[in-house]
Structure 1
Amino acid sequence: MKRQIFIAAAFIAATSVSAQVTTNEALKTKTKSNQTNENGTAVIKLQVPANSKQFTASEIKNTITFRWTPVVPKPKEGVTYRLKVWQLMQGQNSTQAMRTNKPIVTKDVMDVTQAAVSGICTGPCKPPYLCDFIWTVEAIAADGKPITENVTQEASSFSIEKS
């Protein structure tokens, strides 16, 4: 009888450890897919234009609407969202363009999760400029400090179809 109780107790303990490991792995996976900063604020997800969207030459001349998800929880004093768009140059990847090029668009909007921009491409894409663009959105608190700092910021790309 004692042996059966010992085996049952060992099985329960092993199952409990297994459940804890599974739960911890699930939490790590959830955290990676829904990152937050040290304040527990969710990362902004870029929605429109979709990543790798290709615009025609005529579409890019129109107003382009950029959309993203809000920061959660929303600060009481409001949020300024700063949209930035960069044009890539020959030999650059997205990260290099964001670090070294001046944005071709910087637009702040208060408490809304979209911004309309016209005139992104003012002429033909000729070397050294490519027809490839990258965009990000940063959330800024009323005190001027980034809400989304210390979290890898998502970036999305779009391009103009080559004719």
Structure 2
Amino acid sequence: MTDTIHINSRPRAIVPVLERIYLPLDTFAETLLRVVAGVLLVTHGYGKILDPFGTVGMVEGLGFYPGVFWSPLLAATEFFGGIFIAVGLLTRPAAFAATIVLLVTVYFHGIVQGEGLGGAEKSVLWAAVTFFFAIRGANGQSIDAKLGRQF
């Protein structure tokens, strides 16, 4: 006889009374993570959006030519993508684009700057967070859910 694993099934809590805390906070915790990730991307991209061509040299130094194309794209991805992630609008494509940007920063800090994992660890963590939302999408507390559509 085979056991069926359900995607939404959860293991029982070792201390069952704690489920009364965990279950009601489940959606809130996921929403909080999405909003915080989005807001932090916005704040990180704010300076870039004010000067969208300010990172031309940096992006060309990483091999992305022409920098006049990639620099504003980087600014828009961080700033507007962060807004989209925070409010849960087009969450998957915005989070996917942010994941790509963050993987480039992993390469930049870890390889180009020679900082290794210690220099890239924040980018690795953030890439994992944005990858989570690229795959999962937003939850019920999002504009995507209110529209009844996800990408």
TM-score (norm 2): 0.26
Q: Which has the higher strand share?
A: 1
TM-score (norm 1): 0.25
Q: Which has the higher helix share?
A: 2
Higher relative CO (CA 8 A, sep ≥ 6), structure 1 or 2? Answer: 1
Which structure has the bigger radius of gyration? 1
